[in-house]
Amino acid sequence: MHLVLKSGERSLVSLSNDELLGIVNALNEVCNGVGIPDAAFSTRIGVDRAFLQDLQRQLLAQPPEQLLRYELVSVWAEPTSSVMVRAVTAFGDPVEMNSLEAALLVSQLQSAIEGTS
């Protein structure tokens, strides 16, 4: 596991497939195996059973095709005059680009900046 970013409200982690499988299986045991009564579940675990069951379903779901890669780089303009940039890798590492890819990113940034003017 790699902790990529952490703020007071969110954590961004990169998990191997085995780590993810372990978490999903642990969620299954906590929700369905160890027999924690519903009345005590939230007190003992910190969240309710339905929340963890939904989390398990989300972790097991097939991700959209556009996320099935090692790197993701995108640029867009928000209506609030903001330029948004996303550049992440599945490992939490910096995105490496050759000069053509970097030039394309600069072009996309320029278009987004012009779109917010």
User: Which residues form the domain of 73?
Assistant: 66-116
End of a domain among 43, 61, 79? Answer: 61
Question: Do residues 91 and 57 both lie within one domain?
Answer: no
User: pLDDT of 87-110, one tens digit each?
Assistant: 988 888 889 999 999 999 999 999
How far is the C-alpha of 24 from the C-alpha of 61, rounded, in Å?
Answer: 11
How far is the C-alpha of 111 from the C-alpha of 104, rounded, in Å?
Answer: 11
Amino acid type, 44: R
Number of domains in the chain: 2
Question: Do residues 86 and 100 both lie within one domain?
Answer: yes
Question: Do residues 37 and 72 both lie within one domain?
Answer: no
How far is the C-alpha of 42 from the C-alpha of 52, rounded, in Å?
Answer: 10
Question: Do residues 79 and 34 both lie within one domain?
Answer: no
Distant-in-sequence, close-in-space partners of 42: CB < 8 Å, separation ≥ 6? 48, 49
**pTM of the shown model:** 0.71
Question: Do residues 37 and 76 both lie within one domain?
Answer: no
Coil/strand/helix, residue 14: strand
Give the model's pLDDT for residue 65.
87
Mean of pLDDT values over 1-23: 92
Question: Do residues 82 and 103 both lie within one domain?
Answer: yes
User: pLDDT of 35-71, one tens digit each?
Assistant: 899 899 999 999 999 999 999 999 999 988 888 888 9
Question: Do residues 25 and 56 both lie within one domain?
Answer: yes
Question: Do residues 50 and 95 both lie within one domain?
Answer: no
Question: Do residues 56 and 78 both lie within one domain?
Answer: no
